[in-house]
Amino acid sequence: PGVTASAVTTVSGDVAASGAIPAGGLTINGVALGPITGLTGAALAASAAAAISGAAGATGVSASASGSTLTLTAADGRDISIGVSGGPYAGVLGLAATTQRGTLTVLDTPGGGAHKLLVGGANPGAVGLTAGGHDSTPTGNTVTMLESSGAGGDPPLDLSSYAGASAALDFIDGKIDSGNAVRAQLGALQNRLQMAYDGDLGTSSNLAAARSRILDTDYASETAQLTRSRILQQAAASMVAQANATPQQALLLLR
């Protein structure tokens, strides 16, 4: 009780200079507009506001101009879809060729005092709301729903009626969904960290192997080289000894 809601969609653009938009060059919610002309930015904004407001019955969108600023408004909260044909004519008005969503405002009038406002249902996010308990701050006799700061705790669960039990189940489901979403995010983060760790571990192993090849002694190769050197040294010594003995043997024969 005491909860009301309103929705409105607005989009603004600054018309920087003069320009011209041909007939059909600009569409609002599928309705073609134009021609729109103006010798100054303010004149072009006023001309565009008049053209858009003139088609409000078909588009649900009105417009106003304040100097060179053009503001489009859908008072019932419907989307404002801006399209162009034949050129970037939305940019002439300082707008973007896109769809602007509306803003939903939920108000609670409890008669004063801060309290909790419980939001539930199958898909409150479709209208930009977050399931769960929301802190409310009194402003006079009206309380505007704000995002929960967590200071007030969760709202009490009333299981004494079907409506209360349904709201409690929706609230609990929202908490479970929030927990699952956090778990999924943490799991993805853990996987990324594990992959980074595995990659760093492989790099570390490769660097250690490379360092070992550069700095450590290859004992098998060095032992073989030492043996070869000793054999060559002994062979050289034997050849020198034999060369020295040959003249002595010749002298003995001459005697």
- Full DSSP string of the chain: --EEEEEEEEEEEE--S-EEE-TTSEEETTEEE--EEESSHHHHHHHHHHHHHHTHHHHS-EEEEETTEEEEEETT---EEEEESSS-HHHHTT--SSEEPPEEEEEE--SSS--EEEE-SS-GGGGT--SEEEEEEEETTEEEE----STT-PPPP--SSHHHHHHHHHHHHHHHHHHHHHHHHHHHHHHHHHHHHHHHHHHHHHHHHHHHHHHS--HHHHHHHHHHHHHHHHHHHHHHHHHHHHHHHHHHHH-
Model confidence at 2, pLDDT cuts 50, 70, 90, reads low
152 or 239, which is more confident = 239
Model confidence at 45, pLDDT cuts 50, 70, 90, reads very high
pLDDT tens digits, 61-114: 999 999 999 999 998 888 899 998 888 888 889 898 888 888 777 666 555 555
Q: Identify the pLDDT of residue 176.
A: 86
